[in-house]
Structures are given as structure tokens and as C-alpha cells.
Amino acid sequence: MKMIVLWTDALVYLLVIGLVVWIYFFRKTQEWRLILAQLKKRPYYLVALLILMVYGIIGILDSIHFKTASNEFAVRSVLDLLLSPYDHVSEVTYSAPFATHSAEPQVLKTEDGHFAEVYPKLKYFHFLGTDKIGRDVFYLAIKSIRTGLVIGTVTTLVMLPFALLFGMWAGYFRGWVDDIIQYIYTTLSSVPGILLIAGAMLSLQPKIEADPDIRLLILCVILGVTSWTTLCRLLRGETLKLRSADFVQSAIALGVTPLKIIRRHIMPNLMHIVIITVALDFSALVLAEAILSYVGVGVDPTAFSWGNMINAARLDMAREPLVWWSLSGALFFMFILVFSANIFSDALQKAFNPKEN
């Protein structure tokens, strides 16, 4: 048994460690208490958080990959292990949820030597049916969770440093630094988002064709690099406001160096904006993945993602009988994740809204 660490796996580990560290420092602050108060006040927020945590655990389990001695070529994850045998077996073709027989007839030799069209019996039970090549739809949907999560979170990892650094810098130091940063983000945000992403993915195509994992990574980086501008603008505005607040002016008057002021007085007061934006962007990114895959600049077509499932299933809708389960499965799991994220970000917004308190 040899452990394999993909690039995106490494980032997932980094994120988890980062999250734990951050929570360790964060639990003492006022924001933490406000969030907890909201969770207590309205239990449905807690439910949303739990759902998010379940998805998170599934994603983490799917990020621990290994190779077994018996099969040198198959890289499996812990999730695969838990969901086996569905990860490596398949039926012939489509089958409906809960069905016992395939949806497509096949020409087989019957017992008495004749060829007849029969609906072959399925080897396994499929909760949500199977797709065109016989893979279990439920399995596909669960495996896609990781992709969605990675896109929602790794992108943020890339985006945050840019947005924070540039935003605080521009807002605090103003002058020519501000002008340059404003020029950069105005230029970047002038290009319609999807076009910029498409353009970037296209031009990087030759480099990323080989490895789906690298492609996912590059996609996250591109998404991050193209989406920091909105948050940067917000942080810049807030920093400008904070800078002229009396307590920052007092610190300046007391001779505190700019770097220390930024670290001590400005950054902690920006946290609530960052948290809310990250939560909102998360759901937007998960939804965007589907659209990007449809356009052709999303994840690799062979990777597990809801976007790919939808894309493939789109053509299935024209078939008779209607093959609806692949599409529905993908949309359903995506919906639950995005909906929970939206509900939870609502909790965050309420927590930081002074009127509520």
C-alpha cells in the first residue's frame, strides 16, 4: 500500500490544516461568538452547517489516495474503498434507479441457442441507476463532491492573498500604490469573467491536456486569479473607512508603524467581509463549474464532476425511454450543497449585521 498525493490532494490537506489553525485562533474573537449565537437562535442554520460538514468529510475521504500492490495502475481513494464495489464494477449500459434489469435491450444467445433481444439482468443494486457505460450514478454523484469542493475552496485559497494584500495596501497607503492597484483590478475586471477564464484555459490547453488533476488545479488557479477583484474592491473600501476611524488615527498618533497598524487594527476588522464573501463565492463557484464544463473550459471530461454528468446527460434527455436519473442525481447533490452553503452564508450575514444584535 503506497500513499499517493495528488497536487489537489496536497492543497486539500493544506486547507484542512489551515482551517484548523484558523479556528484555533478565531474561536476567541467576537465574530465567533456572534456566529454561534446565530446558530443557537435558528437551528436550521445548524442543519445547513452539518450538511456542509458531511460533504466536507466525504471530500476529504476522497482526497486520500493510495495504490495497492495488487493493482499497480489503479489509484484509489479511501472513499472508493468505502463505496466498493461500485468504484470498479459496472453494468453494460443504462438502467433505471432501483431497477433489476438493464434499460437497453441486448442481443444475446438464449439457452436454446437462439439470438433474442433481452433486457439483461443487473449484477448489482443501483440506487440511482447507471449511466451510459454502466457506472453507478450514485457513485458518480458522490465522487463529484470532491471536485465541487475543491473548486469552491482551493480557488479561495488562491484568491484571498491577492485580494487581502492589494486591498489593504491600496486602502491604507493610498497615493500611487492605490492608483496602480486600481489600474490592475480595473483592467482585470473589464474583461467579462467567463471569457477570461475561457481564454486562459484555452491557451494553457496544451500544457494541461495530459493530467486531469493538473487541469483541475490550473482551473482553480485561473478562477482565483480572475475573481479576486471584487473582494479586493470591498476590502479597499473598508480599509479606507477604517483608516479614518478614530482608533486607527490614535494608533498613528501614537507612532505605531503602518505594518503593525494593518496587522493589528485593520485586518481583524476586515474578517467579517472576508468570511461572508468566501461563503457566497463558494456556492457561486460550485455552480460555475457546471457551466464551465458545458462550455468546454471546465474540468477534464473524464474527471468526476457534476458538470460533466450534466453535460453527458443532456443528450440522454432525447432518448426513449427518457433517461433522467443521471441528470437528476447530479443536480440534486449539487443543489443540496449549494443550498446549504447559501443558508449558512445567510447565517453569517445575520451574525455580522449590527441590527440583529
Partner 1 sequence: MQALLSVRNLSARLKSEDQCVSLLNNINFEICPEQTVALLGETGSGKSLTALSICRLLSQSIFLSPESEVLLQGKNLLTLSEIEMRRVRGKQIAMIFQEPTTSFNPVFTIGHQIEEVLLHHQRLARKGLEKVVYRLLENVHIAEVERVYKAYPHQLSGGMKQRAMIAMALAGEPKLLIADEPTTALDVITQAQILVLLKQLQAKFGMGILFITHDLSVAAEMADQIIVMQAGRIIEQRGELQKSPLTPHPPQPPLKGGSFQRGGLEVKSILNDAETLLSVEHLDIYFPIKRGIFNKTVGYVRAVEKISLTVRKGETLAIVGESGSGKTTLARGIMSLIKPTQGEVDLLGENLAHLSQKQLRKKRAEFQIIFQDPLSAMDPRCRIKAILEEGMIALKIGADQNERDERINALLDAVGLLPEHLTRYPHQLSGGQRQRVCIARALAVGPRLLVCDEPTSSLDVSVQAQIIDLFIRLQKELEIAYLFITHNIALVRTMAHRVIVMKDGKMVEQGTVEQVLNAPQHPYTKALLIAAGRGQI
Partner 2 sequence: MIWTYILRRILQAIPILIGVNILTFALFFFVNSPDDIARVHLGTKYITESAVQDWKQVHGYHLPLFYNQKEKNMKKLTETIFFQKSIKLFVLDFGLSDTGRDIKQAIGERYLPSLQLAIPVLIIGLLVNIAIALLLVLFRGTYLDLVGVFLCVVLISISALFYIVAGQYLLAKLFRWLPISGYIDGWHAIKFLLLPIMISIFASLGSETRWYRALFLEEIDKEYVRTARAKGLSEFRVLFIHVLKNAMIPILTGIVAILPLLFMGSLVMESFFAIPGLGSFTVDAIREQDFAIVRSMVFLGTVLYIFGLLLTDISYLWVDPRVRLESTQ
Question: Which amino acid makes up residue 176?
Answer: W
321-342 burial: b if 16+ Cβ within 10 Å, else e: eebebbbbbbbebbebbbebbe
The dihedral built from the CA positions of residue 304, 310, 311 and 312, taken in this order, carries a sign that is: positive
118/267 with CB nearer partner 1: 267
Write the interaction track for partner 1 spanning residues 10-29; mark x where CB under 8 A is met and - where it is not: -------------------x
Which does residue 291 touch among partner 2, partner 1, none (CB within 5 to 8 A, set by kind)?
Answer: partner 2
Contacts with partner 1 in 62-81 (CB under 8 A)?
A: none
Pick the binder of partner 2 from 46, 160, 188, 276 (CB under 8 A). Answer: 188
Which residues contact residue 22 at a Cβ distance below 8 angstroms, ignoring those fewer than 6 apart? none
Q: With 0-12 CB in 10 A as exposed, 13-18 as middle and 19+ as buried, what is 344?
A: buried
Which does residue 199 touch among partner 2, partner 1, none (CB within 5 to 8 A, set by kind)?
Answer: partner 2
Write the interaction track for partner 1 spanning residues 238-277; mark x where CB under 8 A is met and - where it is not: -------xxx-xxxxxxxxx--x---xx--xx--------
Inter-CA distances, 337 with 42, 192, 195, 284, Å: 19, 27, 26, 11
Pick the binder of partner 2 from 90, 93, 230, 342 (CB under 8 A). Answer: 342
Kind and range of the H or E run holding 354: none
In 3D, which of 70, 48, 46, 56 has the Cα closest to residue 20? Answer: 56
Rounded to the nearest whole angstrom, what is the least distance from the CB of residue 290 to partner 2 in the complex?
Answer: 5
Q: Give the span between the Cα atoms of 180 and 165, in whole angstroms.
A: 13
Contacts with partner 2 in 291-320 (CB under 8 A)?
A: 291, 294-297, 310, 314, 317
By CB under 8 A, residue 236 contacts partner 1: no
Largest alpha-carbon pair distance within the chain?
98
Write the interaction track for partner 2 spanning residues 252-291; mark x where CB under 8 A is met and - where it is not: -------------------------------x---x--xx
Which residues contact residue 158 at a Cβ distance below 8 angstroms, ignoring those fewer than 6 apart? 220, 221, 223, 224, 225, 228
Contacts with partner 1 in 27-56 (CB under 8 A)?
A: 29-30, 41
By CB under 8 A, residue 202 contacts partner 2: yes
The backbone region for 134, taken as left when phi is positive above 0, alpha when psi lies in -120 to 50, beta otherwise, is left
81/317 with CB nearer partner 2: 317
Q: Give the span between the Cα atoms of 348 and 52, in whole angstroms.
A: 14
Contacts with partner 2 in 128-187 (CB under 8 A)?
A: 183, 186-187
Which does residue 165 touch among partner 2, partner 1, none (CB within 5 to 8 A, set by kind)?
Answer: none
- Across the beta sheet with 75-77, what order do the strands follow? 2-4, 65-67, 75-77
**Which residues form the interface with partner 2 (CB under 8 A)?**
183, 186-188, 190-192, 194-196, 198-200, 202-207, 283, 287, 290-291, 294-297, 310, 314, 317, 327, 331, 334-335, 338-339, 342-343, 346
**Which residues form the interface with partner 1 (CB under 8 A)?**
29-30, 41, 245-247, 249-257, 260, 264-265, 268-269
